[in-house]
């Protein structure tokens, strides 16, 4: 009996050790010391791992020692990988054909849980993913060649979308994401979530804001800005930062008598 107790203690100690190690030294909960990435990012840091996607793979780097980083893992994905998003221990990876969901294991290495093809046929669309709670939002843009959000090489065999889409997926079961809604958006690009609001860049038409608070699977268009070039957006501390073309704009969200709108704070331009 005593042996069993010591074994249990030993296993517990191992478990605790494992936990403290996987939490790492430089974890990302220490305030504002981790970057907020745009939705088109190809790199991000979670705890002491750096994840980077290339056109067709994902690499994991141990960055515990910044002077001596170590490549831990490299996994092949399909063609046209464009973006990576971290959500509660999951990596959501967008490509021109599908959404990949990978789960980060105790050693910080991602493993594929599922891949959801956007279309039955090859369609030359691509664009990023964001997620909140159990919902992932994806934009699919009709343009593959834009210089920004260019998910790689134009494939002449691919069909082109006539109109872009904003999709929502239920990712409660990461092995089996379920498409819940598809909304037409003319040419959607980068996107960001802030609580009950979903911000979607719509190329030269500016930014759309959707309500995802009432029904997270049915984004409801609340506001469309005046036209301007909008390709990616980051929302942080109530400030909405949008980049597009030669400009970088910053806005506040104004709420007046039940209506929302973007109020410009500044523009950096050429």
Partner 1 sequence: MKYLLSFGILFLMVGCHKDSEDLIVDGFAPVYIVYDVTKIKNEKPKPLISGTNFILYKTYILLIEKNEGIHIVDNSNPALPSFISFIALPSVQHLTASEDVLYVNYGKDLVIVDISNINNVKFLSSVKGFFSTDQEVIPPDFSGYFECIDDNKGVVKTWEKKKLVNPRCRTVI
Task: Give the contacts of 75 (CB within 8 A, at least 6 positions apart).
Answer: 57, 58, 110, 112
Contact between 43 and partner 1 by CB under 8 A: the answer reads: yes
Closest alpha carbon to 95 in 60, 129, 145: 129
Q: Are 53 and 88 in contact (CB under 8 A)?
A: no
Distances in Å between the alpha carbon of 102 and those of 47, 143, 173? 16, 26, 12
Letters for 92-111 (x = contact with partner 1 by CB under 8 A, - = none) are: --------------------
Contact between 174 and partner 1 by CB under 8 A: the answer reads: no
Contact between 16 and partner 1 by CB under 8 A: the answer reads: no
User: Between 209 and 243, whose beta carbon lies closer to partner 1?
Assistant: 243
Contact between 161 and partner 1 by CB under 8 A: the answer reads: no
Site size with partner 1, rule: CB under 8 A: 59
Compute the distance between CA of residue 50 and CA of residue 34 in angstroms, rounded to an integer.
12
Contact between 64 and partner 1 by CB under 8 A: the answer reads: no
Q: Are 73 and 109 in contact (CB under 8 A)?
A: yes
Q: Are 265 and 252 in contact (CB under 8 A)?
A: yes
Contact between 24 and partner 1 by CB under 8 A: the answer reads: no
Applying CB under 8 A, which residues contact partner 1? 26, 28, 30, 32-38, 40-45, 50, 52, 54-57, 59, 61, 63, 66-69, 71, 74, 145, 147-148, 150, 152-157, 231-232, 234, 236, 239, 241, 243-248, 250, 265-266, 268-270
């Amino acid at each position: 009996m005593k042996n069993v107790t010591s074994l249990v203690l030993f296993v517990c100690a191992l478990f605790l050790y494992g936990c403290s190690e996987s939490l790492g030294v430089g974890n990302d909960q220490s305030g504002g010391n981790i970057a907020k990435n745009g939705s088109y990012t190809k790199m991000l840091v979670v705890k002491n791992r750096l994840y980077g996607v290339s056109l067709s793979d994902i690499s994991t780097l141990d960055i515990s020692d910044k002077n001596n980083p170590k490549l831990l893992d490299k996994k092949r994905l399909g063609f046209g990988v464009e973006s990576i998003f971290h959500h509660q221990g999951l990596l959501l990876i967008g490509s021109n054909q599908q959404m990949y969901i990978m789960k980060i294991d105790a050693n910080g290495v991602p493993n594929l849980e599922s891949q959801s093809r956007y279309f039955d046929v090859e369609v030359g669309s691509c664009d990023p993913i964001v997620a909140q709670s159990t919902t992932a939002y994806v934009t699919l843009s009709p343009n593959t060649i834009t210089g920004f959000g260019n998910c790689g090489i134009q494939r002449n065999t691919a069909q082109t979308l006539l109109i872009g889409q904003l999709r929502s997926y239920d990712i409660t079961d990461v092995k089996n994401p379920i498409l819940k809604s598809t909304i037409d958006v003319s040419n959607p690009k980068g996107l960001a979530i802030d609580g009950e609001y979903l911000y979607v860049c719509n190329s030269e038409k500016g930014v759309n804001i959707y309500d995802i608070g009432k029904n997270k699977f049915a984004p409801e268009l609340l506001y469309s800005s005046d036209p301007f070039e909008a390709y990616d957006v980051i929302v942080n501390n109530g400030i909405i930062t949008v980049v597009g073309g030669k400009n970088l704009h910053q806005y506040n969200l104004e709420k007046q008598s039940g209506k929302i709108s973007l109020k410009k704070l500044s523009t950096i331009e050429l």
